[in-house]
Amino acid sequence: MRQKTIFIATHQGFTTRYLLQTDILARLKEYGHRIVIISPNSNDENFRNDYVSENVFIEQFNYKKIYTIRDTFLYQFFTQTRRFIFPDGLDIATLRDKEKAVRYNLNKKPIKQRIVLLTTLWLAALCRKYRLLRVLFLQIERLLFSKKFHQKIFDYYKPDMLILADVGTIDISNFIMREAKAHNVPVVSIVLSWDNLTAKGIGGVKPDYAVAWNSNMKDELMRYHEVPSERIFVGGIPHFDLYFKPCFPISETEFRNMFGLVEGKKILFYGTASPSSFRENVRILRLLIEGIRDGRVLEPVQVIVRPHPVYYIRSTETIKEEATAIEALCEQNRDIIRLNKPQVRQRKIGCEMPIADQKILGAILKHSNVFLNQFSTLMLEAAIFDLPIINIGFDNFRNIEMKSTELQFRTHLSRVLDTGFARMAESEAQLFELINLYLRDSSCDREKRKVIRENEGGSHKGSAGNAIAYYLHTLAVGNN
């Protein structure tokens, strides 16, 4: 058997952690394959030092050339339309929410932009209804935007497979996926996050194979993205593997020492919402502080606050001001608040989340008593650790007059929330009622959390990275 060459395309922090810092890369190297990482950071010395090794090479992801196309009116028209397209007859509550946001802000746009946005919504509705039109739309997009931005590395390495953490919904991914197809290189899409399949519309390029977290996600790949069942592998969630290890890498004593926590006080963990979507994280934190100090929280507690990574990745001036305000509140209330600032490793282009940060996050989830959030993926992680979960449903979105409680109807959320594994606070008073309920009895909703742990926590628990790597190995070997 000749050595196989595998391209791994990674363009931003979360995909880098998922594909390069879990067992996926390590195991593929052990199988003896030649790995070529395609990244915008091929010229970043630190990035190269972290990942280049025997049989692991790094080549440039030509994002600058891609962005010259991405930023054109015609490409944006196709992208914006596609984000509202799924096959007819499916639950598209998430897309309806996004359409509502578009229509809400229409009057703030220039007349030409309004006409374009309304046209994209109209065309998307037609494509949802008529499959032939949907296929034609994607074919036209392919013909218009098939480029040869990576021709040299395809010719030089002659890859046997392209792996990436996207199903064709991210602009930068579509270009290299089309190039792979043009070179008859099989494309394997590993689903990055639990909302990717129902929140971003159809992909511009359909992968040849896909890797899902669980059977529910496999069903979504089949129905929403029309990937055949026999080409989907249910592999699990590799960056959650450490959560299922028999001995968690950070003990409770180490955890308490790490944050300087007081013995005998229970722990509330507040993971803030993304500031890109929500505008009231600072108010929520102030409310928690006031509730603890004025006795609305009935037991002695301390709070760990983890600002969303977006605060340190894609910060506008407004978001930077909010991050500063959160950090100031934590510093001013050191007797009851501890700050867990996400670790973000800066690169020449963008940044990435190191797997070491995942260990600290896991320790917080494992050793806390109650978890507060706004409908984030952290709910799934909390359920893995049997941590009681409260969703804050009375805060507001940033760019639309809509309460976060509306999120419960989104496609990926309604499926899990219908189990009752997490409770929702629709008012400030109810928030403190639920905090006190769970502090008093952490067994509330335990059986429902177990259902989520089993059904949504992924297959191959604790060994997903190994299982996915073996699947990729067998595909590479089989595609001679």
pLDDT at 1 over 60: no
The ranges assigned to domains in the chain are: 1-237+458-480, 244-456
Residue 352 has pLDDT above 90, yes or no: no
Tokens at 309, concatenated = 């990574």
Residue 71: how many other CB atoms lie within 10 Å: 10
- Take residue 173 and report the two structure tokens written for it: 């991914």
Contact between residue 390 and residue 424 where contact means Cβ atoms under 8 Å apart: yes
Q: How many percent of the chain have pLDDT more than 70?
A: 98
Read off the pLDDT band of 346 (50, 70, 90).
confident
Please write the tens of the pLDDT for every residue from 280-304: 999 999 999 999 999 999 999 999 9
User: Three-state SS across 372-408?
Assistant: EECCCCHHHHHHHCCCCEEEECCCEECCCCCEHHHHH
Rounded-to-integer distance, Cα 178 and Cα 155, Å? 15
Tokens of 264: 């005998």
As assigned by CATH, the class of the 244-456 domain is alpha beta
The encoded tokens of residue 210 equal 């896909």
Cα-Cα-Cα-Cα torsion 164, 53, 55, 180, nearest 10 degrees, comes to 20
pLDDT digits (tens, 9 = 90+) for 91-145: 888 898 888 888 888 888 899 999 999 999 999 999 999 999 999 999 999 999 9
Going by pLDDT thresholds of 50, 70 and 90, the confidence category of residue 399 is low
The C-alpha atoms of residue 194 and residue 173 are separated, in whole angstroms, by 18
CA distance 71 to 145: 12
Instruction: Compute the mean pLDDT over every residue in the chain, rounded to the nearest whole number.
Output: 93
Examine the pLDDT at 313 and tell me if it is beyond 90: no
Average pLDDT over residues 41-45: 93
The span from the CA of 101 to the CA of 402, in Å, is 9
pLDDT(366) > 80: yes
Summarised one tens digit per residue, pLDDT across range 243-267 is 998 888 888 899 999 999 998 899 9
Task: Return the CATH superfamily for domain 1-237+458-480.
Answer: Glycogen Phosphorylase B; (3.40.50.2000)
Lowest pLDDT segment from 72-81, 95-104, 421-430, 451-460: 95-104
SS (H, E, C) 116-171: HHHHHHHHHHHHHHCHHHHHHHHHHHHHHHCCCCCHHHHHHHCCCEEEECCCCCCH
**Tokens representing residue 135 in the block:** 């296929």
Reported as type and span, the H/E element at residue 306 is strand 301-306
Is the pLDDT at 184 greater than 60? The verdict is yes
Res 13 pLDDT > 90:
no
Query: How many angstroms separate the first and last alpha carbons of the chain?
Result: 9
pLDDT score for 220: 96
Instruction: State the CB neighbour count (10 A cutoff) for residue 431.
Output: 24
How many other CB atoms are found less than 10 A from the CB of residue 76?
14
Could you tell me the two tokens for 451? 């259902």
Q: Is 244-456 the same fold as 1-237+458-480?
A: yes
What does the pLDDT look like over 198-214, one tens digit per residue? 999 999 999 999 999 99
Confidence bin at 448 (pLDDT 50/70/90): very high
Among the ranges given (110-119, 209-218, 332-341, 344-353), the one the predictor scored with the smallest mean pLDDT: 344-353
Strands 209-212 and 56-60: unpaired
Place of tokens 């996400």: 342
Per cent of the chain over pLDDT 90 is: 79
Asked whether residue 368 carries a pLDDT value surpassing 90, the answer given is yes
Question: Which residue has 């934190």 as its token pair?
Answer: 285
| pLDDT attached to residue 480 | 53
Over residues 56-90, the pLDDT tens digits come to: 999 999 999 999 999 999 999 999 999 999 999 99
| Residue 347: band (very low, low, confident or very high) from pLDDT cuts 50, 70, 90 | confident
Beta bridge mates, 56: 35, 53
